[in-house]
């Protein structure tokens, strides 16, 4: 929901600068609880470590895209919305599929749905090492800050009320395969499932993945048998396959709750076994919040 720069007085017809614009700035939400000045979270081999992203008390924050400085091996992440006690993914997803590695300021991972956070309302990020290596990560959630403590009373009430209501109903969300995917050498037709749970519908916008080597895949709707394509070579949709270069679906795909998607994969990696991390990014629609939509 953009904020117009100009507003027109309905009585006089005159145009003026929107007063709310004076109290909204670009902002970067960085880790606050690491007890170091660099904002780096160290994740030793075989461990899970956590950090919080918390807007300050001056007003709410709306996150729009993600970047992260990552060093070491592969890591997974779970993002937990503490205000509503919601995870924003079905299980841990590979960091590289949703956070653009630094330098990422020119090629960020755009969230399919913005994420509204009240002041002092945190996101808890849990990072887990997957590679038996020492790792470090420095994530940033980029967006806009509302400096409401400095604004006159009532200036942003309508806008904030709309965003709060929307946030109850929809959030960004990430689906990965229900279980880890390891394709055997020369495997053909290996199946992996993605189960859209009962808590809400899902609208898929992007696909990102990381793999040891090349493979083909096909996505099939387990409910009606429809396929998004024949077996397609991963490079035709994934480029480098990470958050910096997502495949944007030509049409956002509405997937009803309680539905299972099937991935059928053929391993084309000449080197043998092939590890695949596959992530679908989009919007979750929380069905239990429908009564709150007017």
How much is the average pLDDT of 23-52?
Answer: 86
| Residue 36: pLDDT band with limits 50, 70, 90 | low
Share the mean pLDDT of the chain: 89
**What is the Cα–Cα distance from 67 to 194, expressed in whole angstroms?**
25
Position 24 pLDDT exceeds 70? yes
> Which pLDDT belongs to residue 293?
46
**What is the Cα–Cα distance from 52 to 64, expressed in whole angstroms?**
17
Phi, psi at 2, each rounded to 5°: -80, 160
Q: What are the chain's domains?
A: 15-169 (2.60.120), 175-292 (2.60.120)
CB distance 192 to 90 below 8 Å: no
pLDDT digit string, tens, across residues 254-277: 999 999 999 999 999 999 999 999
| Residue 228: pLDDT band with limits 50, 70, 90 | confident
> Which pLDDT belongs to residue 290?
63
- Which of the listed ranges 33-42, 111-120, 183-192, 221-230 does the model predict with the highest average pLDDT? 183-192
pLDDT digit string, tens, across residues 143-202: 999 998 888 888 888 888 888 888 889 999 999 999 999 999 999 999 999 999 999 999
pLDDT digit string, tens, across residues 83-128: 889 999 999 999 999 998 766 566 789 999 999 999 888 899 999 9
CB distance 110 to 65 below 8 Å: yes
């Amino acid at each position: 929901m953009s904020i117009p720069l100009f507003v027109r007085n309905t009585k006089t017809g005159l145009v003026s600068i929107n007063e709310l614009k004076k109290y909204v700035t670009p902002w970067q939400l960085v880790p606050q609880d690491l007890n170091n000045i660099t904002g780096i979270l160290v994740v030793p081999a075989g461990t899970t470590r956590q950090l919080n992203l918390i807007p300050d008390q001056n007003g709410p924050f709306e996150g729009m895209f993600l970047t992260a400085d990552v060093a070491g091996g592969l890591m997974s992440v779970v993002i937990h919305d503490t205000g509503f006690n919601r995870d924003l993914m079905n299980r841990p997803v590979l960091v590289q599929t949703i956070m653009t590695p630094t330098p990422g300021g020119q090629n960020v991972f755009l969230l399919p749905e913005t994420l509204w956070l009240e002041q002092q309302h945190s996101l808890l990020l849990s990072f887990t090492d997957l590679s038996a290596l020492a790792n470090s990560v420095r994530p940033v959630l980029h967006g806009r800050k509302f400096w409401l403590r400095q604004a006159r009373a009532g200036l942003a009430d309508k806008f904030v009320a709309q965003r709060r209501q929307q946030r109850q109903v929809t959030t960004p969300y990430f689906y990965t395969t229900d279980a880890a995917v390891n394709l055997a050498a020369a495997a053909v037709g290996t199946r992996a499932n993605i189960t859209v749970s009962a808590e809400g519908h899902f609208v898929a916008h992007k696909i990102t993945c990381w793999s040891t080597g090349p493979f083909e895949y096909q996505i099939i709707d387990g409910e009606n048998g429809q396929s998004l394509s024949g077996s397609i070579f991963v490079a035709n949709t994934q480029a480098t396959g990470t958050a910096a270069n997502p495949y944007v679906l030509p049409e956002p795909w509405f997937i009803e709750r309680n539905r299972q998607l099937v991935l059928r994969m053929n391993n084309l990696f000449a080197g043998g076994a092939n590890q695949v991390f596959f992530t679908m990014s989009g919007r979750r629609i929380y069905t239990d919040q429908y009564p709150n939509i007017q």
